[in-house]
Amino acid sequence: MMLSRSFCLVGLLASAALPAFAATEGPAYGPELQGFEYPYPVEHFSFQSQGKSLQMGYMDVPAKGKANGRSIVLMHGKNFCGATWEASIKSLSDAGYRVIAPDQIGFCTSSKPDHYQYSFQQLAINTHQLLEKLGIQKVTLLGHSTGGMLATRYALLYPTQTEQLALVNPIGLEDWKALGVPYRSVDQWYERELKLTADGIRTYERNTYYAGNWKPEFDRWVDMLAGLNKGPGHTQVAWNSALIYDMIFTQPVFYEFKDLQMPTLLLIGTSDTTAIGSDIAPPAVKAKIGHYAVLGKQIAGLIPHATLVEFPGLGHAPQMEEPAQFHKALLQGLNAL
């Protein structure tokens, strides 16, 4: 169950700061996204962490096509949830994978504790405990946005259990603080997160994620995030979101890409401009961060066994922007690794 507190996160794991706008349109959801419909049944894994009783929501979808004996774990971005993997879950299940799509602690259908020391190591350990409970010993990891940072950390912590790694427009391809992006305190993040609205989220995502483009089907995901942020648990949601943003900014994985030894697939929408803190960065700093057309190639050169697949003109979430094109490339890439 959720713990209560009257005061202040997001995208596990995605992305840069969302702007604030004053508006109240759209639905409101409970602190664990009660009222929002997931594409598959949500189960909950109960466990102890940092002296707290927590629950991690997850979907466990069996292979619908001829089972290939492989399990794939999907790690969502910060401004996303397990539900936003809907098209990917179907595609992978149809291709024979068992698909596990958890909501990380602090996100979506999972607990949002009052006090929690967020780290990518802790989230990876939580996920590993879930997989142990499900009896899964070897996995392919598919991480998007902030989930790409988490998938990288998981692969580094559990290299013998990670058969393949696939990263979709992961953030953390550069160390923003080392490049001169100013530090924003947890309290500052919290005040910002309290002001999130559907209008602000939509504007940010259109400009940053989708290169100025928008499709009506994206509105469902805007309502999901905005509804969670303005529901009865909005202060808990905002506080956890602030803590997670601090984790993303202060815990880079950039320096360890060279240590990944498993086959790695990089799937990059080249029009993405996501970079944490770009909204408060000096103009000279802002001009040199968030260039995925460059970053994808650079990181592919750092990872020993990397295959780079680029999607020219697509943005931060190619799996949502052009699902058919993306999933064809994903399945071909996984089969070739």
Quick one: pLDDT at residue 211?
A: 86
Contact 144, 169 (CB under 8 A): yes
pLDDT of residue 7: 29
Cβ atoms within 10 Å, residue 96: 15
Q: Where are the beta strands (DSSP E) in 218-332?
A: 264-269, 306-311
Asked whether residue 9 is assigned to any structural domain, the reply reads no
In-domain check, residue 220: yes
- Dump strand ranges (E) for 184-245: none
Indicate whether 37 belongs to any domain: no
**According to the model, what pLDDT value does residue 27 have?**
94
CATH code for position 167: 3.40.50.1820
Alpha-carbon gap, residue 10 to 17, rounded angstroms: 9
Q: For the chain, where are the E strands, in sequence order?
A: 43-49, 52-61, 71-75, 98-102, 139-144, 162-168, 264-269, 306-311
H/E run at residue 236:
helix 234-250
User: How does DSSP assign 104-163, residue by residue?
Assistant: PTTSTTS---SS----HHHHHHHHHHHHHHTT--SEEEEEETHHHHHHHHHHHHSGGGEE
Question: Residue 123's domain spans which residues?
Answer: 43-336
CA torsion 188→152→327→38, rounded to 10°?
A: -50
**pLDDT tens over the chain, length 337 residues:** 333 333 233 333 433 444 443 334 689 999 999 999 999 999 999 999 999 999 999 999 999 989 999 999 999 999 999 999 999 999 999 999 999 999 999 999 999 999 999 999 999 999 999 999 999 999 999 999 999 999 999 999 999 999 999 999 999 999 999 999 999 999 999 999 999 999 999 999 999 899 899 999 999 999 999 999 999 999 999 999 999 999 999 999 999 999 999 999 999 999 999 999 999 999 999 999 999 999 999 999 999 999 999 999 999 999 999 999 999 999 999 999 8
Could you tell me if residue 276 is left (phi over 0), alpha (psi between -120 and 50 degrees) or otherwise beta?
A: beta
Residue 4 lies in a domain: no
pLDDT at 25: 66
Distance CA 102, CA 227 (A): 20
What's the CA gap between 273 and 126, in Å, rounded?
30
Q: Does 22 map to a domain?
A: no
Name the domain count of the chain.
1
Is position 19 within any domain? no
> What does the pLDDT read at residue 26?
85
Phi-psi domain of 71 (left: phi exceeds 0; alpha: psi -120 through 50; beta: other): beta
- What does the pLDDT read at residue 12? 35
Distance from CA of residue 148 to its chain's centroid?
7
Flag whether 68 is in a domain: yes
Closest CA to 99 of 80, 82, 120: 82
Nearest Cα residue to 88 out of 5, 166, 201, 8: 166
Residue 157 token pair: 């912590």
DSSP lists the bridge partners of residue 309 as 267
Q: Buried b / exposed e across 152-185, counting CB within 10 Å, b at 16+? A: bbbbbebeebbbbbbbbbbbbbbebeeeebeebe
Q: Which residues pair with 98 in a beta bridge?
A: 71
Whole-model pTM: value is 0.92
Residue type, 121: Q
> Per the domain annotation, does 281 fall within a domain?
yes
Number of H helices and E strands in the chain, helices first, is 11, 8
